[in-house]
A and B are shown apart, each in its own frame.
Chain A
Amino acid sequence: MDDFLVIDRVSKSFGSLCAVDDVTLSVAQGEAFSLLGPSGCGKTTLLRMIAGFERPDSGRILVGGRDITALPPEQRPVNTVFQNYALFPHLSVWENVAFGLRMSRRPREEIRGGVDRMLELVRLAEHARKRPAQLSGGQKQRVAIARALVNRPLVLLLDEPLAALDLKLRQHMLVELNTIHEQVGTTFIYVTHDQGEAMSLSDRIAVMNAGKVEQVDSPERLYETPRSSFVATFIGDANFFTGTAVELQHEGYVRVMVEGLGSPLVLGNGVVSSNQTLKLMVRPEKISLTLQRPPSGERVNAFRGIVEDFAYFGPHTRYRVRAGEHLIIAQLQRSRFSGGEIDPARGTEVWMTFHPDEARVLKLEDVVS
């Protein structure tokens, strides 16, 4: 079902601060969906409204076709994995996981079976008698997940699931969360400020900013075709150029004149008219650097610049190249460097190239920063 979880024109303000501004979203059944954005963008408020801890000022929330907007949290078919896990310190792992089933007065056999199965799923069966204080961070999180999932909620909400974990554990949990999602098949909604997390975990992501949803798409489309400069910079890095469309070519290509850079050829994104002011975006890893001038051609955009600085990251190196007023960030995998065995040092003159298909056109009114 495509409209399994529906957020319908939901708004919420706290005093004069508008936290969520007329947001509409649809999540499909079984989907892994993320609300992604910086702090203060409204994602946590939205999550709390789905869970039932905040009431929307206007709008509705529907799950499986049923309007749950007026229901208190204990009556919603929704469960939450809290950011700080919120495990009951006075209960054992087993009793924590059993809590929800006990609240709904399930028969004892059912509770026992459900809890044991869930502990098997998260591989904590031998820790069942322990208290939360005796567990590590990763184990606590698995208990929190088990505690929520054992109730077979229609939607599972996860608030910043990886925020409290260190790097190695985070990578491990990413895999684990995906595995659990696949095995259980429940609709998962993640809330996070970390784009890497959102991209690894989700089928689709809603990027939020200042209470509004900027774009909802799959990770690939968000990365490759961001619709605003906010999304372009929030997910990945971007170089922006402003220019005027000077020549419209066939197959949708447009030649744009960018002051101080030249006239690159880019792929227009639809309706572009002559003399229109456009904003272009090129991702750093789409730009190649060479010492020699690349062979010219129709589909080759090449510009000169001087390396101002570079930073070595191990798997790749980032270069800051100056071309007139423009400071361009290029990111190269070391093996891809062509045209010379030596890395360019500061002050070296280089040629930057990118393919027209790799440049995105953003409408000027989307530009906010």
Chain B
Amino acid sequence: MKRSWFPALLTIGVIAFLFAPLVVLVANSFNASRFGGEWEGFTWAWYEKLWAADEVWESLMITLKIAFSASVASMLLGTLAAYALHRFRSWLQDVHSMLITLPLVMPDILMGMSLLALFVLTGVETGLLTIWIAHVTFCLSFVTMVVLGRLQDFDFTLIDAARDLGATRVQAVKKVLLPLLLPGVLAGGLLAFTLSVDDYVITFFVSGPGTTTLPLRVASMMKTSRSLPVINALSTLLIASTFVLAALSFRLQRRA
């Protein structure tokens, strides 16, 4: 039976479309030309400039600090939430489930705006704390979804077996459930980490003076056209590290 070639062609085209700008970006980070219109020779110059840009590295530290602490917090909250959602069926969980899913579909700007309103009205100064709170809030839902997926695939007769062999409920959770759930929790944490490092809009709304995270720094750099090629270099590094983290997360999710 003759199959249309259209879907296959389209798929390849779209994937090329998705990669093209990034490929150009990476190429241009080594391009001596300022605007990347023509290839003017290979150079490390932009990377050298990047290395010397202290404010970029400062922002990186802030970003990493926030990302790390936000992922730990959302891993804790998310795992508890996923367990509750999986284990219990009641009106409480229906409400709980709705609250968990809404942040996933809400546009960043609304979340940023609403948190800003909260902080202004309660007189909390924007800064590291407010960014941390915002990040935990939107990461929570993602971690919950990842862990919930693992729980749904989890064979609970293993808990029965553990109890049959003499483990108390608590011991069974400690020795059987948690070790098997850990890869999923870590995958969720890694996802949270990536989302936190990446976030621009929400952070923009809730950050204060002195808390310029990396995306905020990149955005301000984009406003001055002098720094354009350096941004290419920075972008290439960021792309590379995101891939590494993603690969790790993927590996963790696949572990049986």
Q: Which residues of A contact B (CB under 8 A)?
A: 51-53, 72-75, 78-80, 82, 84, 86-90, 99-100, 103-104, 133, 147-148, 151
Contact = CB atoms under 8 A, between A and B. Distances in A.
A83 to B, nearest CB: 8
Contacts of A86: 155, 157-158, 160-161
Interface residues of B, number: 17
A-B pairs with lowest CB-CB distance, top 5? A103-B166, A100-B165, A86-B161, A73-B163, A86-B157
A104 B163 CA distance: 12
Interface in B153-199: 155, 157-158, 160-168, 171, 176, 179-180
Contact of A103 (B157, B158, B167): B167
A106 B223 CA distance: 69
Contact of A74 (B163, B176, B180, B256): B163
26 contacts: A52-B163, A73-B160, A74-B163, A74-B164, A74-B165, A74-B166, A74-B167, A74-B171, A78-B164, A79-B164, A80-B160, A82-B160, A82-B161, A86-B155, A86-B157, A86-B160, A86-B161, A88-B158, A90-B179, A90-B180, A99-B165, A100-B166, A103-B165, A104-B166, A148-B164, A151-B165
B155 A84 contact: yes
Interface in B223-256: 256
Chain B contact residues, majority secondary structure = helix
B164 A80 contact: yes
B252 to A, nearest CB: 14
Contacts of B157: 82, 84, 86
Interface of B: 155, 157-158, 160-168, 171, 176, 179-180, 256
Nearest to B168: A74
A151 B166 contact: yes
B256 A88 contact: no
Nearest to B171: A103
Contacts, number: 61
A89 B256 CA distance: 8
Given A53-B163, A89-B180, A89-B256, 20 more contacts: A51-B164, A52-B164, A53-B160, A74-B164, A74-B165, A74-B166, A75-B166, A79-B165, A80-B161, A82-B157, A90-B179, A99-B162, A99-B165, A100-B165, A103-B165, A103-B167, A103-B171, A148-B165, A151-B165, A151-B166
A72 B162 CA distance: 12
Most buried by A among B158, B165, B176: B165
B183 to A, nearest CB: 10
Nearest to B172: A74
Contacts of B165: 74, 79, 99-100, 103, 147-148, 151
A256 B256 CA distance: 66
Contacts of A51: 164
A314 B111 CA distance: 74
Contacts of B158: 86, 88
A86 B166 CA distance: 15
A100 B163 CA distance: 9
A268 to B, nearest CB: 48
Contacts of B162: 88, 99, 103
A119 B22 CA distance: 57
Most buried by A among B158, B160, B161, B256: B161
A88 B164 contact: no
Contacts of A133: 256
A122 B256 CA distance: 26
Nearest to A133: B256
A19 B33 CA distance: 80
Nearest to B180: A90
Contacts of A99: 162, 165, 167
Contacts of A89: 180, 256
A82 B162 CA distance: 11
A88 B164 CA distance: 13
Contacts of A79: 164-165
Given A100-B166, A103-B167, A104-B166, A88 B160 contact: no
Contacts of B179: 90
